[in-house]
A and B are shown apart, each in its own frame.
Chain A
Amino acid sequence: MSDTLSRTPLFALHVELGGRIVPFAGWEMPVQYAGIIEEHMAVRQAAGLFDVSHMGEARVRGRDAAKFLDGVMTNEMSTIKVGMARYTVMCQPDGGCVDDLIVYRLGQEEFLICLNASNAPKDIAWMRAHVGSLQVEVLDECAAWAQLAIQGPQAEKILALVTSTPLAAIRRFGFAHGEVAGAAGCILSRTGYTGSPGFEIYLPAASAEKVARALLAAGKPHGLVPAGLGARDSLRLEANYPLYGHEISERISPIQAGLGWTVKFSKPDFIGREALHRQAQGGPSSSVVLFSLDDRRIARQGAVVYSGETPVGEVLSGTQSPVLGKPIGTALIAAGHAASATLTVDIRGHRIPLRVSVEPFVK
């Protein structure tokens, strides 16, 4: 990986808006503007606009495109209808995750895949290495696309002010091609990573600033604020969405992460099938739980979880939930202890009881 950081087409706008810029996954990104909690609550109550142009994109096309994706992804790809998207994981033979992705079916033989920023080169190399004799090509389109996410209960109303695309016709995990603020060639997708309703917009990189300014101007009277990666992280954690490198990784499989619903054993074969099937049958050696704390201290990544005096796991993500007003997080817990009523987490020498939650904190 290069040690120079990349900038999205919106870098100058972030600086102009007072964004605090930090390095993230090889990119210079705004972690916050006004403040993480304020931006978080704006998304829950009105709307927030995120620059997610650091995310990668790959186009997979060819006669065997669907068959190819069925072989490298855990979820079923050949049954996605044109105009719809599906969340999936891409696994190693041992069941560890290469990445988690959203796959958009553009046509019978054409897909657009959204990749995590830090994994994009690895994902593209991985897919290309598994093409074999199939009639398919994997195109790197990371530089061509910018991405904006407009999220929150007011998101649809605001987006409708700057696009002629009929949004009501787009179902959850559906998408449409259209213009936004006069920029042609956009993809408008009813998806998101916050647990609030909204859209993600794929747009030509050259149009990103014009579209972002138009959305911010149109949305301001409706409570739209620019939102940074800090709020994106606290929002996704309240909704219990995994983040690669935390809840899923090369060492944490989708079965361990509670993403078994994305693994379709009905498919005859895909990379990782055997290992994942063993885990699903016998139970994995450890699994990810969501928790909250009745305390003011936040359990951060790496904090050790105990059952009685025995270390049984570690925290994967931790933050303050603005909606609950208390700390939340995820932890990887050894088999047999996830349901224990006596789990505690060590925070700077304090043992705080961990309250495992079966449900996300927002729905």
Chain B
Amino acid sequence: MSNVPADLRYTKDHEWIKVAADGTAVIGITDHAQAALGDVTFVDLPKVGASFGHGDVFGTVESVKAASDLYSPVSCEILEANSDLNNSPDLVNREPYGGAWMIKVKVKNPAELAGLLDAAGYAATL
């Protein structure tokens, strides 16, 4: 069974988001997503300062089998992209909720967070 931590929020597209009290958030993909992709070979992430709307494609994760788009769970501005993934894309397979976080963002419209799934809701989609 996939690991679905209780303290995160989720999208149906298998992204997770961890929201901090200061209005920033960290975003990555779930354990289920990394298992379905198989060996990840490349993660294409946006530049700092770029803005994305809710549901926009913010990057691509590529595995031996296929390339998959990454969807922004909320409207946001990029504060940081995880440069560790340049040299170690396999972190996505090993630490999907830790070392393989993908982007740190400023959440533009906190009301959108209400539309995300909690752990039980996401687990029910798997």
Contacts and interface: CB of A to CB of B under 8 A. Distances in A.
Interface of A: 31-32, 35-38, 230, 234, 296-298, 300, 319-320, 327, 348
Contacts of A320: 39, 41, 64
A230 B37 CA distance: 12
Closest 5 CB pairs of A and B: A296-B42, A37-B39, A320-B41, A36-B64, A320-B64
22 contacts: A32-B38, A35-B38, A35-B39, A37-B39, A37-B64, A38-B39, A230-B38, A296-B41, A296-B42, A296-B44, A296-B62, A297-B62, A298-B41, A298-B42, A298-B62, A298-B64, A298-B67, A300-B67, A320-B39, A320-B41, A320-B64, A348-B60
Nearest to B89: A296
For A230, A234, A298, A319, the residue with the greatest tally of chain B CB atoms inside 10 Å of its CB is A298
Nearest to A327: B41
A348 B67 contact: yes
Tell me the dominant secondary structure on chain A's binding face.
Answer: mixed
B83 to A, nearest CB: 13
B39 A36 contact: yes
Interface residues of B, number: 13
Contacts of B39: 35-38, 320
B126 to A, nearest CB: 15
Interface of B: 38-39, 41-42, 44, 60, 62, 64-67, 89, 93
A36 B65 CA distance: 9
Given A297-B67, A300-B67, A348-B67, A36 B60 contact: no
Contacts of A32: 38
Contacts of B93: 35
Contacts of A36: 38-39, 64-65
A230 B64 contact: yes
B91 to A, nearest CB: 14
Nearest to B43: A296
A327 B93 CA distance: 19
Given A296-B41, A297-B44, A348-B67, 18 more contacts: A31-B65, A35-B39, A35-B93, A36-B39, A36-B64, A37-B39, A38-B39, A230-B38, A230-B64, A297-B67, A298-B41, A298-B62, A298-B67, A300-B66, A300-B67, A320-B39, A320-B41, A320-B64
B42 A297 contact: yes
For B42, B44, B64, the residue with the greatest tally of chain A CB atoms inside 10 Å of its CB is B64
Contacts of B65: 31, 36, 230
A234 to B, nearest CB: 7
